[in-house]
A and B are shown apart, each in its own frame.
Chain A
Amino acid sequence: MLERRLVIVTGKGGVGKSAVAAALAIAARRRGRRVLALSMVGSGDGLATHLGTGPLSPVATELRPGLWALRIDRARALSEYLQSQMRVPAVATFGPVARAFDAFAAAAPAIREIVVIGKVLWEVRHDSWDIVVADGPPTGQIGSYLRAAKTIEELVPAGRIAEQAGWMDETLRDPDHTSLAVVTIPEELPTVETEELLAWLAREQVVGHRQIVANRVLGPLDVPATLPAGPAGDAARLHVALYREQRTWLDRLPADLELPYLFGLLTPAEVAARIADAWEAA
Chain B
Amino acid sequence: MSTRALLVTGGGGVGKTTLAAAIGVVAARRGIRTLVVTVDPARRLADALGTTLGTEPQPLGDEPNLWAAMLDASASWEAIARRHADPAAAERLVANPFFHAATTQFPASQSYAAAEEAVTFIDARAWELVVVDTPPAAGGIDFFTAPRAITDLVGGRLLRWMTGGNLPGRRFFFDRTARPVLRIAGTVLGTQLLDQIAQFFMDLRTTYDGVRRRAKEIEDHLRGAHTVVVTTADPTPLREAVRFFRELPEVARRPEAVIFNRTLPTSWIDADPSGIPEPLASNLRRWAAEAHRQQELRAEFASRYDTRMAVVPWQPEPPTDLDALERLVKASEGLEPVLWDTVD
Residues of chain A touching chain B, judged by Cβ–Cβ distance below 8 Å, are: 12-15, 46, 82, 86, 88, 92, 96-97, 99-101, 103-104, 106-111, 140-141, 144, 151, 155-162, 187-190, 192, 221-224, 227-228, 230-236, 238-239, 241-242, 244-245, 263-265, 268
B268 cross-chain contacts in A, Cβ below 8 A: 231, 234-235
Q: Which 8 A-B residue pairings sit nearest by Cβ, starting from the closest?
A: A264-B289, A159-B190, A241-B316, A109-B101, A158-B190, A231-B271, A14-B236, A100-B161
Could you tell me the distance between the alpha carbons of A221 and B283 in the complex, rounded to whole angstroms?
8
A188 touches B106 (CB 8 A): no
Asked if A88 and B234 make an inter-chain contact with CB atoms under 8 angstroms apart, the answer reads no
Known: A13-B136, A157-B192, A239-B283. A101 touches B12 (CB 8 A): no
The verdict on B317 contacting chain A, using a C-beta distance below 8 Å, is yes
Query: A232: which of B43, B265, B276 is its contact (CB, 8 Å)?
Result: B276
Contact with A along B251-290 (1 / 0, CB 8 A): 0000000000000110110010100110111011011111
Partner of B157, one of A13, A103, A265: A103
Out of A103, A159, A236, name the residue touching B193 (CB < 8 Å). A159
B235 interfacial contact with A, CB 8 Å: yes
Q: Are B236 and A223 in contact (CB under 8 A)?
A: no
Interface of B: prevailing SS: helix
Residues of B with C-beta under 8 A to A12: 12-13
Q: A14-B11, A160-B188, A192-B42 are in contact. Are A241 and B236 (CB under 8 A)?
A: no
Query: A127 CA to B207 CA in the complex, in Å?
Result: 51
Contact status of A265 and B184, CB under 8 A, knowing A234-B265, A238-B314: no
Q: Does B162 contact A (CB under 8 A)?
A: yes
Q: A156-B189, A157-B190, A189-B42 are in contact. List 5 more A-B contacts (CB 8 A).
A: A14-B237, A88-B188, A104-B158, A107-B158, A239-B287
- Residue B337 interfacial (CB < 8 Å): no
Give which listed residue, A159, A230, A238, A263, contacts B189 with CB less than 8 A: A159
Evaluate whether A97 and B280 lie within 8 angstroms (CB atoms) in the complex, with A159-B189, A232-B273 already known: no
**Distance A61 CA – B249 CA, assembled complex (angstroms):** 37
Our pick among A97, A141, A222, A268 for the contact of B184 (Cβ within 8 Å) is A97
Compute how far the CA of A86 lies from the CA of B185 in the bound complex, rounded to whole angstroms: 10
- With A160-B188, A162-B190 known as contacts, the answer to whether A189 contacts B12 (CB < 8 A) is yes
Cβ contact within 8 Å between A109 and B102? yes
B138 in contact (CB, < 8 A): yes
Q: Give chain A nearest CB distance to B101 CB in angstroms.
A: 3
Question: Are B283's CB and A236's CB within 8 A?
Answer: yes
CA–CA, A264 to B282, complex, Å? 13
- Is B292 within 8 A of A107, CB to CB? no
Contact A188 B234 (CB under 8 A): no
Tell me if B197 is interfacial: C-beta within 8 Å of chain A. Answer: yes
| A6 to B268 CA separation, bound complex (whole angstroms) | 44
Q: With contacts A107-B153, A233-B280 known, is A88 near B184, CB below 8 A?
A: yes
Within 8 A of A (CB), among B274-315: 276-277, 279-281, 283-284, 286-290, 292-293, 296, 314
B44 touches A92 (CB 8 A): no
15 intermolecular pairs with C-beta atoms under 8 Å apart = A13-B136, A13-B240, A46-B236, A86-B187, A88-B184, A100-B158, A108-B193, A155-B193, A159-B189, A189-B12, A192-B43, A224-B277, A231-B267, A232-B276, A235-B280
B224 within 8 A of A: no
For A97, list chain B residues within 8 Å (CB).
180-181, 184
